[in-house]
Amino acid sequence: MRKITTLLACLLCISSLQAANKQSDLKKKLDNYIETAVMSKDVVGFNLAVVSADDVLYRGAFGVKNIYTQEPVTSTSLFHIASVTKTFVGAALMQLHEQGKLDLDAPVTTVVPYFKLVDGRYKDLTIRQFASHISGMPDFDSDPWHHKEYDDGALERFVRDFISHKFLTEAPSTKYQYCNTGYELLGDVIAKASGTTFEDYVHQHILKPLEMNSSTLLIRDADFSELNSLHHKKDGKNAVHDIYPYNRAHGPSSTMISNQDDMIKYLQMYLNKGQLNGQQLLSPTAVNAMFAPALGKFDNVGLSWHRKEQDGQLVIYHGGNDGFKAYAAMLPELNIGIVFLTNTAHSPYHELADNLVAIVKASL
């Protein structure tokens, strides 16, 4: 018996040592990649974390929040996460669906009666179709950040004004077509179904239970001492952009402000099948449904999350690009999550996403 106990202890030590070596190897590879392939490309500030369901395998903060003040980026530095915001919309929809307050396959008009297009097919468009970008709804083509709207009515007002004269550009459920406007509509669906504002619902039912205490959809509630500036090229040099991408009319599609610490919790919730620290935000069935191919046939998209295969590995992901670049991804077969945040418009986003996934996959 003593020999068996000793053997088990030795095996446990070997396993722990192997895990520590892998983590050390991952840190070396990621640090080297970021310094040589990211920061060398004139990226001002960059944040990266790699997590498992119950551990942080890597975290790094590089560069500065503002090129003029030279304040360093840290794990608490706040970034605009752009379209990664849409995954919070998806989580909120699934919560309301599980509570019986929403039927994802019901027409949007059952929740938002004012929804009406010139195109008569609007009557049958479902919440699920909008959440998976297969509604056929056209997207807006104007700059959403110049005309600031901060009041509670901004979201409904935008949706009403935008849709009133629109036709579908594709037959519903026949083609994937990324649509920010559909997510503005879904934000108002959440508001109407829950009886509060979209921002308040997400705060009370997602951010607060996960203790994502620094994250917010309302810029007035952000800690401005932690907020990154947006950088772009001006006359060939990095400069702080004079416009910050925030507008409540586009809250659901792209205005979440968050940081590395909080996004770690968010990804770990999914990796733990919808729960974290005793808080069950989504059922395992709901998480699986969000990651599954839309309607069982669109392999590139689930419900709010996107899907792809990279080197034989399924990647569930969402990116964001509104000057700030953000990327959140999960590798379900490894039960690993990756999130990076940048404050620089010319960050090599797609290259970063693919290369970071490849490095993590090869190291673990």
Domain boundaries, the chain: 76-329
Nearest C-alpha neighbor of 221 from the set 206, 209, 203, 205: 203
* Residues of the chain below pLDDT 50: 15
Q: Token pair of 322, please?
A: 């509104």
Please state the length of the chain: 364
Cα distance from N-terminal residue to C-terminal residue, the chain: 34
Q: What angle do CA 170, 171, 176 make, to 5 degrees?
A: 60
Distance CA 310, CA 355 (A): 10
Predicted pLDDT at 3 = 61
| Gap between the Cα atoms of 299 and 307, Å rounded | 7
- Tell how far CA 159 is from the center of its chain: 22
CA 357, CA 115: separation in Å to the nearest integer?
40
CA 294 to the chain's CA centroid: 18
| Class (C level, CATH) for 76-329 | alpha beta
Residue 159: in which H helix or E strand, if any?
helix 154-163
Q: Phi then psi for 318, rounded to 5 degrees?
A: -150, 140
pTM: 0.94
Beta carbons of 58 and 50 less than 8 angstroms apart: yes
- Answer yes or no: are the C-beta atoms of 335 and 271 closer than 8 Å: yes
Question: What tokens were used for 305?
Answer: 């999350």
Asked if 263 and 337 touch (Cβ cutoff 8 Å), the reply is no
CA distance 330 to 317: 6
Which pLDDT value is given to residue 319? 96
17 CA to centre of own chain: 33
Q: For residue 212, what are its two tokens?
A: 């994502």
Q: Are 93 and 131 in contact (CB under 8 A)?
A: yes
